[in-house]
Amino acid sequence: IKDCMRGRLDSQTGRLVLGGLREYVNKLVNADRIIIVACGTSWHAGLVAEYFFEEFCRIPVEVEYASEFRYRNPIIREGDVVIAISQSGETADTLAAIELAKSKGAIIFGVCNVVGSSIARTTHAGAYTHAGPEIGVASTKAFTAQLTVLNMIALIVANKKGTITEQKLHELLVEMENIPSKVEKALQLNEQIQVVAETFKDARNFLYLGRGYNFPVALEGALKLKEISYIHAEGYPAAEMKHGPIALIDEEMPVVFIATKDSSYEKIVSNIQEVKARKGRVISIVTEGDDLIPKMSEFTIEVPAVHEALMPMVSTIPLQLLSYHIAVMRGCNVDQPRNLAKSVTV
């Protein structure tokens, strides 16, 4: 994250700069709509960005699976701008989605980790995440870095559009600068999370629930568990639970709530009550100092407080650790999960 942010705040002028956006930045500022295309974890980063861009830039955002987008005949109008997100920069579906959007006249921004990768080369402008090489196949630190860069882009656009006050911008930038130390704190939860992993390592299913900015985090937590532990897991918006997944809950079902202190806190407390009433086993990720949700949970993991729009960068960490420990305890190869490739190039 430090690398992502380095040099992004011009110390002379105090202005935000992202060199890779070049002359195209005004396309984003004047965009009528942003279409984000990506796959897997990168798609989840895109979902977080949807919340962030809509809140601070007031630009409508659509987040598309590149693997679907490329095979339909999407409507792209003048004024639409595409952002493609990819860790490897080589994902075939994302590349094909970019080519399709380009053929319809769209301007494409890339958010890639691998410098000089195919996606980085084919986009008009963009920014690298500089997360360093992902050793394992499953994306982890790339996700945090993608969120950092996407937030930076959104803040630059919001600043230029005037949809964010100077005070709010300053507040978010200060919070962003503090994220690395908060991530470090979250990593120290390791031993606590090992205990949770030990308890649930033989579970056959997991449910992950979150609201608002933590909804994509729920999806990402479930994906990490599937990818490296081979346990069936579903991520869902907590508010959607009553429209179906609630039927799955019984005394065997671990339910991970990403329930940090934010504007939907009270609502998620009711969702936890609904799960408890059906004897589901509640594991909650909460903000440090929360004294209500821990009383309702079998296990509680506390993460440092942070602005809700930035929370995904912190609340994802315990979920990654949980998947990691469960995978190791089940004897799975965390770096090279079965059936998965680092770059899905077909």
Q: Which residues are catalytic?
A: 342
Q: Least distance in Å: CB of 129 to ligand F1P?
A: 10
Judged by beta carbon, residue 80 or residue 227, the one nearer ligand F1P is 227
Q: Are 171 and 72 in contact (CB under 8 A)?
A: no
DSSP letter, residue 16: B
Judged by beta carbon, residue 88 or residue 159, the one nearer ligand F1P is 88
Judged by beta carbon, residue 216 or residue 280, the one nearer ligand F1P is 216
What residue type is 67 in one-letter code? S
Q: Least distance in Å: CB of 79 to ligand F1P?
A: 26
Reduced to 3 states (helix: H, G, I; strand: E, B; else coil), residue 34 is: strand
Q: Least distance in Å: CB of 42 to ligand F1P?
A: 4
Q: Are 210 and 258 in contact (CB under 8 A)?
A: yes
Contacting residues for 214 by C-beta, under 8 A, at least 6 apart = 258, 259, 260, 262, 311, 312, 315
Q: Least distance in Å: CB of 283 to ligand F1P?
A: 23
β-sheet bridge partners, residue 36 = 63, 83
**For 162-264, where are the alpha helices, taking DSSP H only?**
166-187, 190-200, 214-229
Q: Are 234 and 207 in contact (CB under 8 A)?
A: yes
Position closest to ligand F1P via CB: 40
Judged by beta carbon, residue 122 or residue 343, the one nearer ligand F1P is 343
Judged by beta carbon, residue 15 or residue 71, the one nearer ligand F1P is 71
**Which parts of this chain interact with ligand F1P (CB under 6 A)?**
39-42, 86-88, 91, 94, 137-139, 340, 342-344
**Ranges assigned E (strand) in 238-310:** 254-258, 281-287, 299-303
Residue 163's φ and ψ, nearest 5 degrees, are: -95, 5
Q: Least distance in Å: CB of 227 to ligand F1P?
A: 6
